[in-house]
Structure 1
Amino acid sequence: MSLSVLAAVKDPGFLQDACSAFHGHIIVGLDAKDGKVATDGWAKITKNDVIDMAKRFEDFGVESIIYTDIGRDGMLSGVNIEATVRLANATRIPVIASGGVTDLRDIEALCQVADEGVEGVILGRSIYEGTLDFEEALDFVDDYFEEIEE
């Protein structure tokens, strides 16, 4: 089950209850700009720090975080590797990157930080615009992790 960060900001009890009821099955979408949590469809940038919010999620038992850098989402400007890794390193919660993926170079960069807690990526515009071939990306990821296992 995926929940919006809005639940954690406006009603943390709801998120905590959901994590208790569906232990190991809650993924929270954490949207941010310049390190601050965004809510209300990105219309409101709060004073809440992304890492502080994620640490609260740890206490609740959130399974994963979908981290969207809203300054890059849909812009084809490259995924924010640094912020994604910083978030993953600050918690024990695996992070799924979202926002800004342009092409295979972004997939390569994300694979290189998988051991730092970045467990996946959400793709959108790069596929629609044709700057990333989905099959090529899948093949690259399969080959990359196959080589690591050997």
Structure 2
Amino acid sequence: MTMSSFIMYPAIDIRGGMCVRLVQGDYNQETVYNDSPLKVARSWEEQGGKYIHLVDLDGAKAGHPVNDEIIAKIAATVGVPVQVGGGLRKLEDVERLLSLGVSRVIIGTAAIEDRVFTETVLGKYGDKVAIGIDARNGYVATRGWLETSEVQAEVLAKELAAKGAETFIFTDISRDGMMQGPNVEAIVSLAKASGRTVIASGGVTRLEDLTALSKHSADGVGGAIVGKALYTGSIDLAEAIELIG
């Protein structure tokens, strides 16, 4: 089991160069929160954010990075690590983002659809790679949540842990953006099944949700990605970081 402290990851979803949020991954249900993702990133850092989570929504749909110029600016400007997901399906795209100063890349759809690529990236970059597992009713969803596979999340996690994956980012799609609270049981189960660090994503609504997750850090729950709750004000970043350390 890979032990880790519990880290809160403020999220910035980028689409069309702006900071947005989608409801359950639906590209037709978008709220624009800020026209400058860079300003948002600076704000999260100023409030005590230790690690920033970026998603290239255009990239997730296109199958290759689209907003990499903005991502590069953020990575170069903030003084904390940045992890990036969205459309990473080729080795050269991974290497480009890492060369731009990104600390960790997130492989999502390709973990299901291109195992050779995924294992190559894990073998070459190890701890600079997180595997994003987005699940709907326990089964992995791909391509920006537009499709659901027949692969069980825990089975995929076990297989990729054996190939060198150290970190998983688990999203329960049914909870994402719905302000219902995270699926703690599923997150802990994935961490125990894989024996690796799992970062929770989707559904963190209140400080109590963060506390509930952080209690399982010894089980491998290494953090939580928080998006909508920060933008709506239901969670204050500085207060949350003070609470969970």
| TM-score in same-fold range (> 0.5) | yes
Residue in 2 aligned with 1:146?
none
CA drift at 1:5: 2.5
8 Å CA contact 2:107, 2:129 repeated in 1 = no
Residue in 1 aligned with 2:115?
12
Residue in 1 aligned with 2:215?
112
8 Å CA contact 1:31, 1:38 repeated in 2 = yes
Matches within 5 A, 1:79-90: 79-90=182-193
Deviations 1:36-73 (A, max 9, x none): 00001101111100000001111210120010011111
Within the candidate set 81, 84, 100, 2:203 is matched to: 100
Residue in 2 aligned with 1:62?
165
Distance (Å, rounded) in 1 between the aligned partners of 2:192 and 2:122 = 22
| Paired residue secondary structure (2:135) | strand
Percent of aligned positions that are identical = 39
Distance (Å, rounded) in 2 between the aligned partners of 1:27 and 1:111 = 19
Distance (Å, rounded) in 2 between the aligned partners of 1:41 and 1:84 = 20
| Paired residue secondary structure (1:24) | helix
The residue type paired with residue 120 of structure 1 is G
Residue in 1 aligned with 2:175?
72
The residue type paired with residue 99 of structure 1 is G
1:40 pairs with 2:143: yes
8 Å CA contact 2:141, 2:149 repeated in 1 = yes
Which structure has the highest helix share of the two? 1
8 Å CA contact 2:130, 2:168 repeated in 1 = yes
Deviations 1:121-149 (A, max 9, x none): 0000000011111111000012xxxxxxx
8 Å CA contact 2:168, 2:199 repeated in 1 = yes
| Paired residue secondary structure (1:74) | coil
| Paired residue secondary structure (2:205) | coil
Residue in 1 aligned with 2:5?
none
8 Å CA contact 1:76, 1:101 repeated in 2 = yes
CA drift at 1:4: 2.8
Residue in 2 aligned with 1:135?
238
| Paired residue secondary structure (1:23) | helix
Could you list the runs of 5+ residues in structure 2 that have no partner in the other structure?
1-103
Distance (Å, rounded) in 2 between the aligned partners of 1:84 and 1:136 = 24
Deviations 1:10-45 (A, max 9, x none): 110101101111122211111001100000110111
Could you list the runs of 5+ residues in structure 1 that have no partner in the other structure?
143-150
Q: RMSD across aligned C-alpha pairs, in angstroms?
A: 0.9
